[in-house]
Chain A
Amino acid sequence: MNDWSRIGPQLAEATWDTLYMVGVSTVLTVLIGVPLGVLLTITAPGALSPRPAFHRALGLVVNLGRSLPFIILLVLVAPVTRGIVGTTIGSTATIVPLTIGAVPFLARLVETSLREVSPGKVEATLAMGARRRDVVRTVLLPEALPSLVAGVTVTVVALISYSAMAGAIGGGGLGDFAIRYGYQQFRTDITLTTVALLLVLVQLLQWAGDRWARRLAHV
């Protein structure tokens, strides 16, 4: 059973796959999810730019995205994935469903964070003659930054857990590795090693995220 010299490089590759999938989809999720969260926040009734009908419609779409189990989403968005990436299998193809799955999640977290910014701060800024986009740029986002960082951290951890299902579409990564080499070949040692690696990864991310958020909070 001393085949770790063979398994080691494969484990490293799986780790890299996870980092690649999670890294790219995190960037995409932030780029899409933060503006979406801002939109959700400012269009709410009584908020900066109330558009109740639009707000409800957007909320519905976001909730739909959040209520779908990831494994279903993975299959459902296959045509979209093919359209964007050109294929529906492999790590790069997994980035599309990962991003689509995480965007509504982050958008809700962003909305919650921005809603916590005191309306008084918004009012004070409007009283200075600020435009609405100035309020978003100079008040809502900076004031909520510590909480936004915490939200992104939670999202990254969720992405790592989603990415474990990537194996279903040939995506690779640590989760897939644990199932194929550990579970299906009855190699508990491999399963445990992979789990330990995931645990370390999540711990490290959470620790870094918390630290960053605390530093931004100026307390």
Chain B
Amino acid sequence: MIELTDVRKVFPARRGAAEVTAVDGVSLSVAAGEFAGVVGPSGSGKSTLARLVNLLERPTSGRVVVDGQVLTDLDDDGVRKARRTVGMVFQHFNLLDSRTAAGNVEHPLELAGMGRAERRARVADLLDLVGLADRHGSRPGQLSGGQKQRVAIARALAARPKVLLCDEATSALDPASTAGVLDLLRQVRAELGLTVLLITHEMAVVRAVCDSAVLLGSGRVVDGGPLAEVLTRPHSPLAAQLLPAPSVTDSRGDLVRITVTESAPEGRVLRTLAGELGLDVEIVGGSVETVAGRRFGRLLLAVTGDDGRLDPALQRLRDGGSLVERARPGDEPVPVDLTEPEPDPAGQAPAFARLLDSPDVQR
């Protein structure tokens, strides 16, 4: 549904600022119906990447294909029409204060030239869908952050897009509203068969809703893939973000790392090592999380008393489907800090500052 091929975006040098390559040769493929995440630290180019998908930013080079249409081959008029197949939700909602909730949802329908009666009916359906059937007449200023984002989602869905782009859609929300908005995104994805590309710096969001994800660093794809696969991939930087591997400290004995999945639970490993081999097994670190609706974990064991039987036993376990390996200090990628710098509260920064405040591009 979304196909980026070697996409680059270079912002030309401006007064007092050097040229910036925000996206540097990214290839990315999102299948129809997939819920894909793009994560990366501040300045990694993820917001620019989102804007390349609907050509709010034209790529300097590379190809963007959405729903079989090569957007990069279209003229401005063609791009405008193609944008209707891509809904977009923003961190700061970007609702119009001059319109009510209903008026905001109606806006894209007006632009698409839909008749008044038809618009009204569609707006009612949409506000119903996002759980705001009773807030038609509310102004954005009268709604909570979570409610505003619901209106924005209804607005993004109004023109019946096939793709929904979410650019830090939950980053300005409190945890409860975040959970609500994520539930809504999951629900509309399932009900409408949408393809969702979600840009975020919050790994919890990726764990909660994404089927797959890519990790960006300095405008490049560092790692990526379906989460279930990424998590079982040894030394994956993205897995380190999703499920930080317990750090290896100086510890007695041999260190063994177990990756726990539903098909490879930890019980068998523990039984073999502690039970059959009679080794002294201590859990020195670990975490278990629900990712993409399934249970994943990483445990670090310190095993003492190995008399040469540990390695053959680990091999047997691996042959049997368990994900076990010896661990050494420093053999796992350290998670990078994804926290965003505190953004200016929307509406307080002067307009020109907000224009340049796209968090990924210091122009």
Q: Could you list which residues of chain A lie within 8 angstroms of chain B, going by C-beta atoms?
A: 46, 115-121, 123-131, 134, 138-139, 142-143, 145, 216, 218-219
Contacts and interface: CB of A to CB of B under 8 A. Distances in A.
14 contacts: A116-B351, A117-B351, A119-B351, A120-B346, A124-B94, A127-B86, A128-B111, A128-B155, A129-B83, A129-B84, A129-B108, A138-B111, A142-B99, A218-B98
B346 A118 contact: yes
B108 A128 contact: yes
A121 B140 CA distance: 13
A123 B51 CA distance: 10
Nearest to B352: A115
A121 B152 CA distance: 11
B15 to A, nearest CB: 10
B186 interface: no
B210 to A, nearest CB: 22
Those 10 A-B pairs whose CB atoms lie nearest each other, nearest first: A124-B94, A129-B83, A142-B98, A128-B108, A120-B94, A127-B88, A129-B84, A119-B355, A129-B80, A218-B139
A118 B98 contact: no
Interface string B90-128: 101011111100000001101110000000000000000
Given A129-B81, A142-B96, A218-B139, A124 B88 contact: yes
Contacts of B82: 129
A219 B354 contact: no
A120 B92 contact: yes
Contacts, number: 78
Contacts of B159: 128-129
B80 A131 contact: yes
A125 B54 contact: no
Contacts of A115: 351-352
A120 B54 CA distance: 15
Interface of B: 54, 56, 80-84, 86-88, 90, 92, 94-99, 107-108, 110-112, 139, 141, 152, 155, 159, 165, 346-347, 351-352, 354-355
Nearest to A118: B354
Contacts of A128: 83-84, 107-108, 111, 155, 159
A193 B94 CA distance: 51
- Most chain A CB within 10 A, of B81, B152, B351, is at B351
Contacts of B87: 127
Contacts of B83: 126-129
Contact of B96 (A134, A143, A216): A143
A123 B94 contact: yes
B90 A129 contact: no
Contacts of B139: 218
Contacts of A219: 141
A204 to B, nearest CB: 27
Contacts of B354: 118-120
A117 B92 CA distance: 14
A218 B104 CA distance: 15
Contacts of B95: 121
Contact of B56 (A117, A127, A218): A127
Given A124-B88, A125-B107, A127-B54, 13 more contacts: A115-B351, A118-B346, A118-B347, A118-B354, A120-B354, A126-B56, A127-B83, A127-B87, A128-B155, A129-B82, A131-B80, A138-B111, A142-B98
A133 B80 CA distance: 13
B107 A218 contact: no
A115 B111 CA distance: 23
- Most chain B CB within 10 A, of A129, A138, A145, A218, is at A129
A125 B80 CA distance: 11
Nearest to B104: A124
A76 B87 CA distance: 54
A64 B127 CA distance: 51
B126 to A, nearest CB: 14
A130 B111 CA distance: 6
A142 B95 CA distance: 12
Contacts of A134: 111
Contacts of B86: 127
